[in-house]
Amino acid sequence: MSHAEHVNGELPHEPEKATLEGRNKVLGFWLFLGGEAVLFGTLFATFLALRGQNNEGPTAAELFSLPITAAATLILLVSSLTSVFAIQALHRHNIEKLKLWLIVTVVLGLGFLGLEIYEFYEYVVHESFNMKTSAFSSAFYTLVGFHGAHVAFGVVWISLLIAQLYRKGLTVVTAPKVYVSAMYWHFIDVVWVFIFSVVYLLGKVG
Amino acid sequence: MTANQQSNEGPTVKHRHRVEGPEKHIVVFIFSIVLTAIAFAAVAAGGINTAFTIILLLVMAVLQVFVQMGYWMHLKDKGHLMPILFMIGGFFVASTCIVMALFWVWW
C-alpha cells in the first residue's frame, strides 16, 4: 500500500486531516502563524511609533493615494476568496477546479505585487522617498515591504504546489500542503487589513 | 480531536459527508468589502473627527480580521482550541509590543 493512499484506496473526506502528519502540519503551521503575528506586531509597533518622523521628507498624507490602496486591497481580498474556493474544490476532490482556483489566486497575487512595485517605484523615483529618507520611510518600507515579500513567497510556494498537483495529483500527502498554503494566504490578507487601515488610511487622517 | 477518530474507522464504514457550499464564504466576502468600503469612505470623505475616524478604522479592521479568521481560516470550527490559543498568544505579544513602543517613544 502506498503511503499516499487511504486504506480503501479512496481519497478520504478532508484529505488534509486524514493522516497524523497532515494534522500535525496544520497544527505546526498555526504555531508558525502565531509567531508571524508577533513578527508583524513588532514591525507595526515600530511603524506606529515612528510614523510622524518624516525628517522634512514627504509625509504619509502627501504620499499615499487612496485609489491604489483600494485596488490593492480589492485584489488581495478577492484572492483570499479564490483560495477559499480552492479548498472547497479540494474537499470535493475536484482537482481540476482546485488547480484553476489556485492559478487564479497566484495571478491575483502577482497583480498585487505589480501594484506594490509600481507604488514603491513612484515613491523612490518621483517623490524622493526612499529607505533612508526618514524614520517614517524606513519603518514604512520595512513593514509594507515585509508584507510584500510574504506575498512574493506565497506566489512562489503556491505555484510550486500547483506544479506538484499536476505531477502527483491530489493525495493525503499533497492535500495538507495545499490546505496550509491557503491558511498562509488568508493570514497575508489579514495582515494587509491592518496595513491598509493603520498605514494608509491612518496616514491620510493624520 | 474529532478528526483523529475518522481515519481509524474501517474501510467498510460508509458515511455521507456534508460538503459545505460557497454561500457563507461569499457572505463573509461581501461583509469584508462593506467594512473596507466604510473605512475608505470615512477617510475619503474627510472632515470627520480624527479620534472618531481612528477608532472606526480599528473597529472595522478588527471585525474583518475576526470574521475572516473564523470562517476562512476555520478557527470557529471544532478542534481548533490549540490554533486559537496560538493566535491569541501571538496577538497578545504583538499588541504588547505596540503598546510598549508607543509608550516608550511618546511618553
Spans of all domains in chain B: 2-76, 78-107
How close B47 comes to chain A (CA, Å)? 9
Name the DSSP class of B56.
H
Residue B19: pLDDT band with limits 50, 70, 90: confident
Counting every residue written for chain A, the total comes to: 206
Distance, CA of B84 to CA of B41 (rounded, Å): 32
Apex CA A112: angle with CA A99 and CA A159, to 5°?
Answer: 30
The half-sphere exposure of B74 on its side-chain side, counting CA atoms within 13 A, is: 19
Q: Do B94 and A41 touch (CB under 8 A)?
A: yes
| Grid cell for residue B65 | 480580521
At residue B25, the pLDDT reads: 94
How close A64 comes to chain B (CA, Å)? 12
Apex CA B11: angle with CA B6 and CA B12, to 5°?
Answer: 110
* Spatial CB neighbours of A175, under 8 Å, sequence gap ≥ 6: A11, A15, A16, A18, A22, A90
Q: Do B19 and A91 touch (CB under 8 A)?
A: yes
At residue B106, the pLDDT reads: 84
Contact indicator for A104, A83 with CB cutoff of 8 Å? no
What domains, with CATH codes, occur in chain A? 70-205 (1.20.120.80)
Contact indicator for A10, A177 with CB cutoff of 8 Å? no
| Grid cell for residue A202 | 491612518
Distance, CA of A181 to CA of B74 (rounded, Å): 14
Interface TM-score (ipTM) > 0.85 = yes
pLDDT at B12 over 50: no
Residue B17: pLDDT band with limits 50, 70, 90: low
Distance of CA A90 to the CA centre of its chain: 20
Contact indicator for A134, A35 with CB cutoff of 8 Å? no
Name the residue facing B39 among A40, A85, A201 (closest C-beta). Answer: A201
Among all residues of chain B, which has the CA nearest to that of A46?
A: B101
Q: Which chain B residues have a beta carbon less than 8 Å from that of A78?
A: 29
Q: Do A193 and B68 touch (CB under 8 A)?
A: yes
Q: Map chain A to HEC letters.
A: CCCCCCCCCCCCCCHHHCCHHHHHHHHHHHHHHHHHHHHHHHHHHHHHHHCCCCCCCCCHHHHCCHHHHHHHHHHHHHHHHHHHHHHHHHHCCCHHHHHHHHHHHHHHHHHHHHHHHHHHHHHHHHCCCCCCCCHHHHHHHHHHHHHHHHHHHHHHHHHHHHHHHHHHCCCCCHHHHHHHHHHHHHHHHHHHHHHHHHHHHHHHHC
At residue B107, the pLDDT reads: 76
Name the residue facing A186 among B40, B72, B101 (closest C-beta). Answer: B72
| Residue pLDDT tens, chain A, 206 long | 445 555 566 888 889 999 999 999 999 999 999 999 999 999 999 999 999 999 999 999 999 999 999 999 999 999 999 999 999 999 999 999 999 999 999 999 999 999 999 999 999 999 999 999 999 999 999 999 999 999 999 999 999 999 999 999 999 999 999 999 999 999 999 999 999 999 999 999 87
What dihedral angle (degrees, nearest 10) is formed by the CA atoms of A185, B85, B63, A202? -80
How close B99 comes to chain A (CA, Å)? 7
* Per-residue pLDDT tens digits for B39-81: 999 999 887 888 999 999 999 999 999 999 999 999 999 889 9
Chains A, B: CB contacts under 8 A, how many?
142
For residue A68, report the phi and psi dihedrals to the nearest 5 degrees. -65, -45
Q: Which chain B residues have a beta carbon less than 8 Å from that of A199?
A: none
At residue A80, the pLDDT reads: 97
At residue B20, the pLDDT reads: 78
| Grid cell for residue B9 | 474507522
Helix count (H) and strand count (E) of chain B? 4, 0
* Spatial CB neighbours of A39, under 8 Å, sequence gap ≥ 6: A146
